[in-house]
A and B are shown apart, each in its own frame.
Chain A
Amino acid sequence: MMSHLPALQVVVPLLSAPICVLLGRGRFAYGFTLAISWVAFVISGLLLQAVVQGGAISYQLGGWAPPWGIELRVDLVNAYVLLIVSAIGALVMTYAKPSVDREIGAEQEYLFYTGYLLCLAGLLGVTITGDAFNIFVFFEVSSLASYMLISLGPNRRALTASFNYLIFGTIGATFFLIGVGLLYQMTGTLNIADLAERVAPLTGTRTVQAAFVFMVVGLALKAALFPLHAWLPNSYAYAPSVVTIFLAATATKVSIYVLIRTIFTIFGVEFSFGTMSLGPLLFILAIAAMLLGSTVAIFQDDIKRMLAWSSVAQIGYMVLGLAFATVNGVAGGILHLFNHALIKAALFMAMGCVFYRMGSVRIEAMAGIGKRMPWTTAAFVAGGLALIGVPLTTGFVSKWYLLLASVESGMWWIALFILISSLLAIIYVWRVVEAAYFMPSPDGAPEGEAPLLMLIPTWVLIIANVYFGMDTRVSVGVAVDAAKALLGGGS
C-alpha cells in the first residue's frame, strides 16, 4: 500500500470523478468529494514525509522501468507542490458547500464536484509525473475541467471568459506539446531525468533551441506571465467563488512548477541562461507584470477582478525569482509560489464569504461591511497585509529573499521595483479597507456573518499565513534545498 502512494495520489481523485457522476443528485456527491479531497491531502502528506526521510521516490507505472515506461517521480520540489495543491483542495472543499449551494443550481452540483475532482487529479498528475508527454495529458485533463468549472459562473460573461481561456489554454498546451515532440525527435526519450542527460550534448542544435522556445512560451501562457495573461482576469472574476479560490491558488502555480522543471531540470541553467539568454527576457517580463498588474488592480471596481490582476503581478514576483538563477533568487520564487497560494486562497475565500451574504463583490457592496461581517473583513485585511508583504506574514518572507537575491546579484534597482509594486498593493488593498470600515452601511444591507463552515477554512489559511511568516525554518529550508538541487543540475 505505502509503496503505491505515488500512483494513488493521482488515481484516487481520477477514479472518483466517474463515481461522483454515478452518485448523482443529493447529498452524497459533496460528502464523497470532501472525503476524497482529504484522502488526497493525507497521501501527499505521507509522500512528503517519505521524501524528507528517504530521498526521492521513483514509481514505475505498470512495472515498466524508465526511460521506457512512465515514471512517477517525487522529490523535494514537487512533494511540496503536491502538498500545497492537495491542502488547498481539501480546505476549499470544506469551505465549498454553502457557497456552491448558493451559486450553482442543485441539478448541476454533482457535475460541478466531478469537474473539481478531475481538475484536482490533473493538477496532481502534472506535478507528480516524471514524463514530459504525461505532463501535457494531465495539463489538458485539469484545463478541460477548469474551463467547464469557470463556465458555471453566475454571470453570462463567465461563458465568454471560459471560452477565451479555452483558446489560450489550448494554444499554450499545444506549444508545450510541439516542444516535447521536437525534444523526442532529437533524444528519443520522454522521461524528464533521461531528457536532461541527453539534451546536454545537443544544445547547439536549432531543433533543441526551438523546443526550448516552444515549451517556455507555452508554459508562460499557462502560467499567465505578462504579456500572455489576457485570459486570467476575466476567468477569475466571473468563475464561481469556489472555483476562483481553487484555480488561483493552484493552477498557475503548477504551471510555474513545470516552468521551473523545464528551465532548470530538462535544459539546465547553462543552456537556459547562457545560450538562450533567458535571464534578461524574464526580468523585463516579470517587472512589467509586477508594475502593470498592480497598477491595473488599483482601478478595478470588482474586487475579485482586482485580486485577479494582483495575481498577474504576483506571478511576476515568482518569475523574477527564477530569472536571477541564483540560490536565493530561485528559493524566493519557490517560496512565493507556496506563500502566494496561501495568501490568494485566503483572500478569495473572504470574497466568497462576501458574495455569499451580499450577492456581489463590487466595491460598493463593501461599504460598511467591517461592522456587519467583522470576521470576514478581518480575514481580508490580514490576507491583504500578507499580500503587501508586511513583516510577520508569508508575503514578507518571499519578498525578503527576492530583495536579497537582487542585492546579491548587484541589481539593486530591481529591489526598487519590488518596493514600488508593494506600495501599489497597499493602495488597492486600502481601497477595500476604506470602504469596509469608513463608509456607512447602505440601508437594508444584509446583516450577519458568513456560515461558520466558510469562515473556519478562511481563518485556517490566515493563521497559516502568519505562522509561516514567523516560523520560516521549514518553508525556507525546503525552498533553499530545492533551489540548490535545481541549480546543481538534476534533483
Chain B
Amino acid sequence: MEWPGLYNYWIAIFLMMAGLYIVIAQQNLIKKMVGLSVFQASVFILYITMGKVTGGTAPIIIPGDDVLYSNPLPHVLILTAIVVGVATLALGLAIIVRIYEAYGSIEEDDIEKEEENAR
C-alpha cells in the first residue's frame, strides 16, 4: 500500500483520538461536549468512508448491467447515528445549563470547590 494509503481512515482516526483527548483533558464542560461531538463525528466519517466503492456512483438504479454503485447502507446507518449524536449534544448542553444555574460555573474545578465549600 502506498503512502498515505486510504488517507480517509487516517483522518477518521486522528479526529477520534483528538476528540477523546479533548473530553479527557478539558475542564470546561462545554468543551468536553465539543470533544465528544468531534469523537462521534469521526465515527460517522469512518462509516461513510467504508460505504464508498472506488468508481461507484450514487445508488440510484441506472439502466445497464455494468453500473458500479456505492454501498448506501452505512450512510443510512449513520443518519440514525447522527440523530443520536444531536440528541446527546442537546441533552448534554441542557444539563450544563442546569449545572450553571446550580453552581454558577461550568468549570469542573470550580464545581468541586463550590461543593466542598457547601459541605
Residues of chain B in range 45-60 having any CB-CB distance to chain A below 8 Å: 46-47, 50
Inter-chain contact B103/A156, CB cutoff 8 Å: yes
Interface size class of A (residues with CB under 8 A): 20 to 34
* Residue from A157, A174, A181, A184 within 8 A of B115 (CB atoms): A157
Out of B80, B98, B115, which one reaches A137, CB within 8 Å? B80
A205 to chain B minimum Cβ distance, whole angstroms, is 15
User: Please, how many angstroms separate the alpha-carbon atoms of A177 and B50 in the complex?
Assistant: 14
Q: How far is the CA of A184 from the CA of B46 in the complex (A)?
A: 12
A163 at the interface (CB under 8 A from B): yes
4 additional A-B pairs beyond A137-B80, A144-B88, A166-B95, beta carbons within 8 Å, are A156-B103, A157-B115, A166-B88, A171-B23
* Contact assessment for B32 and A167 in the assembled complex, using a CB-CB cutoff below 8 Å: yes
Q: Report A120-148 CB contacts with B as 1/0, cut-off 8 Å.
A: 00000000000001001100100010011
CB pair A181 B95 closer than 8 Å: no
Measured between beta carbons, the chain A residues less than 8 angstroms from B36 are 167, 170-171
Interface residues of B in 75-119 (CB under 8 A from A): 77, 80-81, 84, 87-88, 91-92, 95-96, 98-99, 102-103, 111, 115
Complex Cα spacing A159 to B29, Å: 12
Contact A178 B43, beta carbon cutoff 8 Å: yes
Task: Name the distance in Å between B77's Cβ and chain A's nearest Cβ.
Answer: 6
User: What residues of B have a CB within 8 angstroms of the CB of A441 in the complex?
Assistant: none
Complex interface: chain B residues within 8 A of A147 (CB)? 91, 95
- B18 contacts A by Cβ under 8 Å: no
Q: How far is the CB of B48 from chain A (nearest CB, A)?
A: 10
Chain B interface category by residue count: 20 to 34
A166-B88, A167-B32 as given contacts; A151 in contact with B47, CB under 8 Å: no
Alpha-carbon distance A175/B96, docked complex (angstroms): 24
Secondary structure dominating the interface of A: helix
Q: Is the CB of A144 within 8 A of B91?
A: yes
Q: Which of A349-370 contact B (CB under 8 A)?
A: none
Contact A144 to B87, CB < 8 A, known contacts A163-B92, A178-B43: yes
1/0 per residue, CB under 8 A from B, across A171-197: the answer is 100100110010011000000000000
Q: In the complex, what distance in Å separates the CA atom of A290 from the CA atom of B91?
A: 33
Name the B residues within 8 Å of A163 (CB-CB). Answer: 29, 92, 95-96, 99
Number of A-B contacts (CB under 8 A): 65
Interchain CA distance A163-B50 in the complex, whole Å? 32
Please pick, from B39, B50, B98, the residue contacting A159 in the complex, using a CB distance under 8 A.
B98
Residue on B with the closest CB to A151?
B95
Chain B contacts for A409, CB-based, 8 A: none
Q: Which 4 interchain pairs have the tightest Cβ spacing?
A: A156-B102, A140-B84, A185-B50, A159-B99
Whether A177 and B102, one on each chain, are in contact in the complex, defined by CB atoms closer than 8 angstroms, is no
Closest chain A residue to B40 by CB distance?
A: A174
Contacting residue for B50 out of A137, A157, A167, A181, CB 8 A: A181
A162 at the interface (CB under 8 A from B): yes
CB-nearest residue of chain A relative to B71? A188
**A45 CB to closest chain B CB, in angstroms?**
31
List residues of chain B with CB within 8 A of the CB of A148: 91
- Bound Cα distance from A178 to B39, whole angstroms: 11
Smallest Cβ-Cβ distance to A145: which chain B residue: B91
Which one, B23, B47, B88, B96, contacts A181 given CB within 8 A?
Answer: B47
